Amino acid sequence: MNPSNGHEAVIGGFYTESPYPWRAHTLQQPLDPELYPALLSQAVGDFGHRRVGPDGAVWVAGCGVNQALITAQRHPAARVVGTDVSEGSLALCNEGRKELSLDNLELRKEGLTAARYHEEFDYIVCTGVLHHNPDPSALLQRLAAALRPTGVLEVMVYNTYHRRNPVAFQQATRLLAGDTGSVAGTGRALAEALDIRNSLASDLAETRLQPDAAFADTWLNPYELTFTVDEFRALAERCGLLLEAPRIGPDDHSGEAALWDVVLHDAALQERYEACDDHTRWRITQLLLAEESPYNWFYLRRADAPLPAPSDASRNAAFLAARAEPVAAAQRTWALHGAEGYRVLVESSPLPTMPVAPEFRALWEHLTPERTVGQTCTRLGLPTDAQTVRRMRAQLTTPEFPYVLSVPA
Ligand SMILES: C[S@@+](CC[C@H](N)C(=O)[O-])C[C@H]1O[C@@H](n2cnc3c(N)ncnc32)[C@H](O)[C@@H]1O
pLDDT at position 329 is: 97
DSSP class per residue in 109-122: E--GGG----S-EE
Which of 70, 85, 224 maximizes ligand 1 atoms within 8 Å of its Cβ, making it the mutation to test the pocket? 85
The reply to whether 328 falls in a domain is no
The reply to whether 329 falls in a domain is no
- Ligand 1: which atom is nearest the Cα of residue 4? 19
CB distance 15 to ligand 1 below 6 Å: yes
The reply to whether 276 falls in a domain is yes
Task: Calculate how far, in angstroms, residue 20's C-alpha sits from the geometric centre of ligand 1.
Answer: 8
Question: Could you tell me if residue 323 is left (phi over 0), alpha (psi between -120 and 50 degrees) or otherwise beta?
Answer: beta
Looking at ligand 1, which residue's alpha carbon is closest to its atom 23?
Answer: 62
Q: Are residues 24 and 141 in the same domain?
A: yes
The reply to whether 272 falls in a domain is yes
Give the relative orientation of helices 373-380 and 312-321 as an angle to the nearest 10 degrees: 80
User: What residues are paired with 245 via a beta bridge?
Assistant: 299
DSSP class per residue in 133-150: SS-HHHHHHHHHHHEEEE
Q: Are residues 176 and 290 in the same domain?
A: no
CB distance 222 to ligand 1 below 6 Å: no
CB distance 154 to ligand 1 below 6 Å: no
Window from 68-72, 246-250, 271-275, 368-372 with minimum mean pLDDT: 246-250
The reply to whether 371 falls in a domain is no
The reply to whether 370 falls in a domain is no
Give percent above pLDDT 70 in the chain: 97
Window from 200-204, 206-210, 329-333, 367-371 with minimum mean pLDDT: 206-210
pLDDT at position 382 is: 97
| Domain's final residue, options 220, 246, 264 | 220
Q: Are residues 31 and 86 in the same domain?
A: yes
**What is the average pLDDT score of the chain?**
93
Q: How confident is the model at residue 322 (pLDDT cuts 50, 70, 90)?
A: very high
CB distance 71 to ligand 1 below 6 Å: no
Torsion of CA 345, 350, 354, 356, to 10 degrees: 170
Q: Are residues 285 and 241 in the same domain?
A: yes
What's the whole-number mean pLDDT along residues 70-79? 98
| Domain's final residue, options 196, 220, 244 | 220
Q: Are residues 251 and 109 in the same domain?
A: yes
Q: What is the DSSP letter of 219?
A: I
Q: Are residues 34 and 105 in the same domain?
A: yes
Q: Pairing relation of β-strands 241-246 and 329-336?
A: unpaired
Q: How far apart are CA 409 and CA 406, in angstroms?
A: 9
- Which letter, b or e, does each residue of 340-354 get, where b requires 16 or more Cβ atoms within 10 Å of its Cβ? ebbeeeeeeeebeee
Is pLDDT at 251 greater than 80 in this prediction? no
| Domain's final residue, options 291, 318, 345 | 318
- Beta-strand ranges (E) seen in 25-93 are 26-30, 57-61, 79-84
CB distance 18 to ligand 1 below 6 Å: no
Q: Are residues 174 and 57 in the same domain?
A: no
Question: How are strands ordered across the β-sheet holding 241-246?
Answer: 105-109, 79-84, 57-61, 121-127, 147-157, 296-302, 241-246
pLDDT at position 2 is: 44
Q: How confident is the model at residue 216 (pLDDT cuts 50, 70, 90)?
A: confident
Task: Calculate how far, in angstroms, residue 336's C-alpha sits from the geometric centre of ligand 1.
Answer: 23
Q: How far apart are CA 384 and CA 374, in angstroms?
A: 8
pLDDT at position 252 is: 58
CB distance 129 to ligand 1 below 6 Å: yes
Q: Are residues 103 and 233 in the same domain?
A: yes
CATH code for position 51: 3.40.50.150
What's the whole-number mean pLDDT along residues 323-343? 96
End-to-end alpha carbon distance in the chain: 54
The reply to whether 81 falls in a domain is yes
Q: Are residues 81 and 145 in the same domain?
A: yes
Size of the chain in residues: 409
C-alpha to C-alpha distances, 363 to 314, 366, 401, nearest whole angstrom: 20, 5, 15
CB distance 88 to ligand 1 below 6 Å: no
CB distance 327 to ligand 1 below 6 Å: no
What's the whole-number mean pLDDT along residues 141-146? 98
Is 104 within 8 Å of 79 (Cβ atoms)? yes
Task: Calculate how far, in angstroms, residue 132's C-alpha sits from the geometric centre of ligand 1.
Answer: 8
Q: Which sign does the torsion angle of CA 6, 11, 16, 17 carry?
A: positive
Residue 275 CB contacts under 8 Å (≥ 6 apart), including other chains:
none
CB distance 69 to ligand 1 below 6 Å: no
Residue 183 belongs to what domain range?
A: 164-220
pLDDT at position 208 is: 77
Q: Are residues 176 and 276 in the same domain?
A: no
Q: How far apart are CA 338 and CA 342, in angstroms?
A: 8
Task: Calculate how far, in angstroms, residue 29's C-alpha sits from the geometric centre of ligand 1.
Answer: 23
Q: Are residues 187 and 73 in the same domain?
A: no
The reply to whether 45 falls in a domain is yes
How many structural domains does the chain have? 2
Q: What is the DSSP letter of 225?
A: -
CB distance 62 to ligand 1 below 6 Å: yes
pLDDT at position 5 is: 73
- Which letter, b or e, does each residue of 179-217 get, where b requires 16 or more Cβ atoms within 10 Å of its Cβ? eeeebbebbbebbeeeeeeeebeebbeebeeeeebbbbb
Q: Are residues 149 and 54 in the same domain?
A: yes
What's the whole-number mean pLDDT along residues 47-52? 96
- Ligand 1: which atom is nearest the Cα of residue 112? 20
Q: How far apart are CA 402 and CA 324, in angstroms?
A: 12
Tell me the backbone φ, ψ of residue 74, rounded to 5 degrees: -80, -20
